[in-house]
Structure 1
Amino acid sequence: MTPRPLPPGPLVAFYGDDLTGSSAAMEVLAFAGLDTVLFLAPPTPERLAAFAGHRAVGIAGMARSQGPAWMDAHLPPVFRLLAGLGAPVAHYKVCSTFDSAPHVGSIGRAAELGAEVFRVGAESWIPMLVADPGMGRYQSFGHLFAMAGPDGHRLDRHPTMARHPVTPMDEADLGRHLARQTALPVGLVDFVAMKRGEGSARLARARAAGARIVSLDVLDHETLVEAGRLIWEEGGSPTFTVGSQGVGAALVAWWREAGLLPAAPAIPVPPPVDRIAAVSGSVSPVTAGQIAHAVQNGFEGLRIDPSLAVDPAAWEREVGRAGEAALAALGRGRDPLVYSAAGPDDPAVAALRDATRTAGLSEEVVNDRIGAGLGTILNRVVRQGRLTRAVISGGDTSGRVAARLGIDALAALAPMAPGAPLCRAYTDDGGAGLEIALKGGQVGGPDFFVAVRRGAPTSKAG
């Protein structure tokens, strides 16, 4: 079979359902040698023109923390914008742990809306690829597994995802999990068929049985290449896909296997910096370990009380107090790290939940305030401290914080940990001074914050 050639112009256009996940998708493509830009909001034609010639264009969103009604209002215009770019692959990027539920972050509803805009009829299919071995995510017979430290866990038994505060995972079979969110039939190409060279035949059977979404098992490089081949060679025109950064990894793997893309170029190593600042809204135990390591290595851990966010006036005072404390830490030669919780068992998590319920507020409203407050703190510290590098931790936090920094676009500079590159931040006034790393709660080795300061990749993550 002669491989389908790579056309000129954008190859991949993607929308990420949160910011840190979007940066993971950007990283895969950028470090493969494809010029990639990630916008933090749908760009104007003029803003797009500033990045003309890029081979991948992404838009970071917040669908992961929103309900179906929000998706109905906001996703179709974004999908139409992506369709207008003319890329052969359009990608709805989801978390590699499939964070979703019928009422929040519904991947099923997003797939339905994408199918309408990209005209995925009964004669076509939507590839779904969630696994990514480079991130410690593996799928076998439709079940997703994820690493936690040195150990792998089925997702419904994962120490973090089974206890996620918003979308706890109680089903590792992604087809079953997705069936709660959409009536679109889901099929599977399992890794055995892919290993035996029967991927195309298995795909044909799934489609003949009525599958509109077809999930692709990936366990290793060989199955990753085969998944990329199925997407690129047997997808629609354009191909609308749903999945993690594994979609980009699979495409790159196939393009290289087929001789369409050269080996990855050398990636420059950024120099260390004397001082950085960080904020965290994550409740992951991985982040809790990273905070503890940072405090032992030159950072000053500064708690902010998230339960005060139910009262705007009290929260404003708390944000001001934490900002002053962070600047004072800089003055003492320490790197400020402002955080709302240290792991899921931190009493602050339960206190926030109780305060939100007592105040009669939605979690969305309170989380927006917390993210905006952390953004206000980081913006103040970066500007008054004249810092050139910063870290934001927390997938649901990062977009809100970045907005307060005036960032409208990112480009990957260097890998820090799989799924969390160091990025160049752009502002719509043409500024491009700040280097920033955005990481999901479960991403990175224990020394992630320290690694960003020194400009070298983090130790091996679980």
Structure 2
Amino acid sequence: MTASALPPGLLLAYYGDDFTGSTDAMEAMTMAGIETVLFLTPPTPALAARFPTARCVGIAGSSRGRDPAWMRRELPAAFSSLAALNPPVLHYKVCSTFDSSPTTGSIGCATELGVQHARQNWSPSIVGVPRLKRYQAFGNLFAAVKGVAHRIDRHPTMSRHPVTPMAEADLRLHLGKQTTRRIELIDMVALADGSAAAQLNDLRGDDVPTVFIDVLNDETLVEAGRLVWEQRGEGVFSASSSGLPYALTAYWRAQGWVAKDVALPRAAPVRSIAAVSGSCSPVTAGQIAWARDNGFTVERMALDQALKESSYAEEIARLVALAVGVLDAGGSPLIFSAEGPNDSAVVNFDEIATKAGLSRSDAARKVGQALAAVMQGIVDQRPLKRVVIAGGDSSGEVMSMLDIDALTVAAELTPGAPLCRAWSSHPVREGLELVLKGGQIGLEDFFGLARDGIVMP
């Protein structure tokens, strides 16, 4: 490795629009040997002082499920706190499926707020992540399922997402429905023939346009990272997936500025885990089915009971008692709210919410809160070494109730969902191992892997 040409101090600061995505970005930087810490709220000076050598910091948020009014209230302070650290790259981390809408998780709104902190006259956006089987070609986004890549508007899950279905694969058109700001593209041809920097010079402007950058493979990933890093100026803002940290670290590796191979520890086995899932994806449904067939005790949360004030506490107590009994017997409980997009709990969710006197969005949030209450009850009664939360919104709700201050990557588990270590002033939570899994992440045996760890060949 050659002498580092990276500047001293902080290299990247980011706000994650959900908790699972936030740990994904943390993993990308940690795998390059860059010490990274993810805070659950803007850190106090005393908390930040616990991580004096961190070169990447993040704040895990919940904006993916929020409306623009919430974003305008909450994001400016978060962006300001990160910008005050003077990072070369200020990153608003979004999901690699880019699912969002003008009314929910608006990436356009977040960008309008974020570019106010940019000191450069362009705002890159990298969405493709080859490691996660996400690809962008000529501005269109693709995601693979079981080895088959689908255009995102024809993806079996994301085209039918219950809150933010993706009806457009061209990310320029999709983002254009969320903002009036100028949107441009540097495509993979420009990256390959070396004309990207010259094209960018023609696109820059005082209006700070969003410039999507294609990423299709490892070669375009390196070139995308090169473009962002070499054209960052005094500081650039980017609304991107974890494709941004993967691209930056790929370029830094190619330059010899960071180690090419940083071997993370492999997750070790534990006797039992407790898991909750609020994910509606078919990927998670397959993982729940695998767990049911392979020794886990799988129990459905009764949504009609959990959403009603009169029966909420009783349903939480039922599930906690069941989980504690399973753990005492040496087993691993998995509590879930739905099993795939065709589950009756998903298909009839509006009706269930209406009967509970709740709007769809309020009911969805309450499901996450109920799963959080279950997990809190479990770990309060039976301190565990490792827990798993599936679903981005669910992860945010659970983490907000566990008295955890920060996370760092503890070990490798599966791409996009590392094993994390909790930092907390709460003695029972300190050192707790957590896995936060997005709906599309992991193979069929994911819950088994989270319990049994990675077995060396």
Cα deviation for residue 267 of structure 1 reads 1.5
Cα deviation for residue 369 of structure 1 reads 2.1
- 1:271 alignment partner, SS class: coil
Contact 1:415 1:457 in 2 (8 A): no
Cα deviation for residue 277 of structure 1 reads 0.7
1:340: which partner in 2? 337
CA distance in 1, matches of 2:256, 2:426: 40
1:106: which partner in 2? 106
Deviates more, 1:335-344 or 1:399-408: 399-408
Which residue, out of 377, 401, 411, partners 1:414? 411
Cα deviation for residue 309 of structure 1 reads 3.5
Cα deviation for residue 212 of structure 1 reads 0.6
The question of 1:215 aligning with 2:212 is answered yes
2:143: which partner in 1? 146
Contact 1:310 1:356 in 2 (8 A): yes
Q: Identity over aligned residues, as a percent?
A: 49
Contact 1:307 1:351 in 2 (8 A): no
Deviates more, 1:138-147 or 1:193-202: 193-202
2:188: which partner in 1? 191
Deviates more, 1:327-336 or 1:277-286: 327-336
Deviates more, 1:160-169 or 1:193-202: 193-202
Which residue, out of 423, 426, 430, partners 1:432? 430
Deviations 1:215-259 (A, max 9, x none): 000011110000001110012321111110010000001111112
TM-score computed with the length of structure 2 as normaliser: 0.95
Pairwise mapping of residues 204-353 of structure 1 onto structure 2 (< 5 A)?
204-207=201-204, 212-353=209-350
1:28: which partner in 2? 28
Distance change in 2, residues 1:91/1:133 (3 Å): same
1:37: which partner in 2? 37
1:454: which partner in 2? 452
| Aligned residue identity for 1:134 | R
CA distance in 1, matches of 2:450, 2:347: 31
Deviates more, 1:72-81 or 1:358-367: 358-367
CA distance in 2, matches of 1:102, 1:380: 36
Cα deviation for residue 307 of structure 1 reads 3.0
Cα deviation for residue 412 of structure 1 reads 0.7
| Aligned residue identity for 2:58 | G
| Aligned residue identity for 2:448 | V
- 2:431 alignment partner, SS class: coil
Deviates more, 1:68-77 or 1:3-12: 3-12
Deviations 1:9-61 (A, max 9, x none): 11100000000000100000012111110011111122111112201000000
Contact 2:267 2:412 in 1 (8 A): no
Deviations 1:327-363 (A, max 9, x none): 1222333210000010010111133321213444233
CA distance in 2, matches of 1:223, 1:323: 48
Cα deviation for residue 300 of structure 1 reads 0.6
Unaligned runs of 5+ in 1: none
Contact 2:4 2:256 in 1 (8 A): no
Pairwise mapping of residues 10-89 of structure 1 onto structure 2 (< 5 A)?
10-89=10-89
CA distance in 1, matches of 2:286, 2:316: 24
Cα deviation for residue 269 of structure 1 reads 2.0
Contact 2:266 2:413 in 1 (8 A): no
TM-score computed with the length of structure 1 as normaliser: 0.94
Cα deviation for residue 404 of structure 1 reads 1.7
Contact 2:284 2:339 in 1 (8 A): yes
Contact 2:265 2:412 in 1 (8 A): no
Distance change in 2, residues 1:141/1:209 (3 Å): farther
CA distance in 1, matches of 2:138, 2:207: 19
CA RMSD in angstroms comes to 2.0
Cα deviation for residue 111 of structure 1 reads 0.5
Contact 1:4 1:233 in 2 (8 A): no
1:396: which partner in 2? 393
Cα deviation for residue 108 of structure 1 reads 0.4
| Aligned residue identity for 2:162 | P
The question of 1:441 aligning with 2:445 is answered no
Contact 2:109 2:179 in 1 (8 A): yes
CA distance in 2, matches of 1:309, 1:113: 36
CA distance in 2, matches of 1:115, 1:368: 29
CA distance in 2, matches of 1:4, 1:204: 27
Contact 1:416 1:448 in 2 (8 A): no
1:7: which partner in 2? 7
Cα deviation for residue 315 of structure 1 reads 1.6
CA distance in 2, matches of 1:189, 1:410: 35
CA distance in 1, matches of 2:158, 2:345: 19
CA distance in 2, matches of 1:80, 1:175: 27
Contact 1:162 1:168 in 2 (8 A): yes
Contact 1:425 1:433 in 2 (8 A): yes
Pairwise mapping of residues 126-205 of structure 1 onto structure 2 (< 5 A)?
126-205=123-202
Cα deviation for residue 385 of structure 1 reads 2.6
Distance change in 2, residues 1:67/1:300 (3 Å): same
Cα deviation for residue 176 of structure 1 reads 0.3
- 2:32 alignment partner, SS class: coil
CA distance in 2, matches of 1:145, 1:229: 23
Cα deviation for residue 457 of structure 1 reads 7.9
- 1:407 alignment partner, SS class: coil
Cα deviation for residue 283 of structure 1 reads 0.5
- 2:260 alignment partner, SS class: coil
| Aligned residue identity for 2:264 | I
Distance change in 2, residues 1:376/1:331 (3 Å): same
Deviates more, 1:170-179 or 1:407-416: 407-416
